[in-house]
Amino acid sequence: MNTLLAAELIGLDKIINSDPVAITFFMGYMAMFASAVFFFVERNSVSDKWKTSLLVSGLITGIAAVHYYYMRDFYLQTGQSPTAFRYVDWTLTVPLMCVEFYLLTKPFGAKTSTLTKLILASLLMLIAGYIGETSGIESNVMWGIISTIGYLYIVYEVFAGDVAKLAKSSDSPALGRAMFLLKIFITLGWSIYPLGYMVLPGNLLSGAFEVSSIDLFYNVADAVNKIGFGLVIYSVAISETNKNKKVQHA
């Protein structure tokens, strides 16, 4: 009991004394949890065909909140990066973010084959990334290249593949705006992850900045990307729901 209490006091001391990594773990947990509650509650304010999209948004942020709770405690007690916890979180939430692309375009004709390709690409990106981070300096560049292939395929789908074509052919201005914002998340928001990977010892940007800063960047990027994704989906769902209501009452 005394050991546990001492660990908790040390953790609180890190937060109180402005350890930026500890603070972002704490803020990330609270922000993800609050966002999950919001998306679950707001499911009742959109039409039926958009409820699943908000459910997935709630699951993404809810799963992240649970992992951030444990990652926060792991960091506070050890001072080390919770790599395993983080990759478990990403392996669950990133494919769900790919599901969101499918759900966005499903009302306009998206096929399950597109969803399958997106999920496989995300898994390739994450599994290769984890192997690269944990297998040692000798092979992390090779695994990083393999991981990047998965990431680039997702970028292709969003900019020029089936997802992009369906969004362009739809008659929904809300979907067009959403896809524009999601492209920004994919290219700018997600870019922090490969950059963080490349500063690892022995990698392409090794020594560019302190490895200890990676968690700070990852925590901020996770909150912006996961919550931002959900808010974009929410904006489309609300817009399309209101448009349908106007048509029905016309």
Pick from 239, 244, 243, 231: which is nearest to 174 by CA? 239
**pTM of the complete model:** 0.86
The whole domain housing 204 covers: 2-249
pLDDT of residue 116: 94
- When pLDDT is cut at 50, 70 and 90, the band that residue 4 belongs to is very low
pLDDT, tens digit, for every residue of 195-232? 777 877 767 667 666 666 788 889 988 999 999 999 99
Tens-digit pLDDT profile for residues 36-90: 999 999 999 998 888 999 999 999 999 999 999 999 989 988 888 898 999 999 9
Q: Rounded to an integer, what distance in angstroms lies between the CA atom of residue 192 and that of residue 80?
A: 20
> Can you give the CATH number for the domain in which 90 is found?
1.20.1070.10
The SS3 call for residue 209 is coil
pLDDT in tens, 19-48: 888 889 999 999 999 999 999 999 999 988
Asked if residues 115 and 247 have their Cβ atoms less than 8 Å apart, the reply is no
Q: Contact at 8 Å (CB) between 154 and 118?
A: yes
**Residue holding tokens 């992992």?**
67
Structure-token pair, residue 112: 């399950």
Residue 13 — pLDDT band, cuts 50, 70, 90? low
| Residue entry with tokens 């709770």 | 69
Q: How far apart are CA 226 and CA 230, in angstroms?
A: 6
Find the Cα–Cα–Cα–Cα dihedral 202, 207, 211, 214, rounded to 10°.
-100
**Tally of domains within the chain:** 1
